[in-house]
Amino acid sequence: MQEDSIAVIQAKLKAFAVERDWEQFHSPKNLAMALSIEAAELMEHFMWLDLTQSENLPEEKRRQAAHELADVFIYTLRLAERMGVDLIQTTYEKMAINAEKYPADKVRGSAKKYTEY
Ligand SMILES: [Mg+2]
């Protein structure tokens, strides 16, 4: 497993875009749209499968889905960089918010949204 930091990967992604003169297309709006489209491409690999099938993708299909997951990650990193969002700090912030919204003793075993508690 690679151990590059978020910042290192973001710098490589930015260099990739700069080399191709693609920064002009990478507005936050476009990156958010691209992120959503890649998420849909990921979902496509699971469409119409039952739960068991979704847990046991054939190797080639799993590899293709992994590439879509990487695309989601790539656009997430690019969007965070363009928005000036510190993804690690913000993720920890959101995890703290989620922990408050969903206290384990209150929600254990339930998939309800916090507004239903
Ligand atoms: Mg893709």
In whole angstroms, give the CA distance from residue 36 to residue 86: 20
In whole angstroms, give the CA distance from residue 64 to residue 41: 10
Q: Is 8 helix (H, G, I), strand (E, B) or coil?
A: helix
Report pLDDT digits (tens) over 55-66. Answer: 999 999 999 999
Q: For residue 71, report the distance from its CA to the centre of ligand 1, in Å.
A: 5
Q: For residue 112, report the distance from its CA to the centre of ligand 1, in Å.
A: 31
In whole angstroms, give the CA distance from residue 111 to residue 107: 8
DSSP string, 50-94: -HHHHHS--HHHHHHHHHHHHHHHHHHHHHHHHHT--HHHHHHHH
Residues contacting 31, CB < 8 A, separation 6+: 75, 78, 79, 82
**Percent share of the chain, pLDDT over 90:** 86
Residues bordering ligand 1, an ion, CB closer than 5 Å? 38, 41, 68, 71
pLDDT value of residue 3: 76
Mean pLDDT across the chain: 95
Domains delineated in the chain: 6-112 (1.10.287.1080)
Residue type at 42 in one-letter notation: L
pLDDT category at 90 given cuts 50, 70, 90 is very high
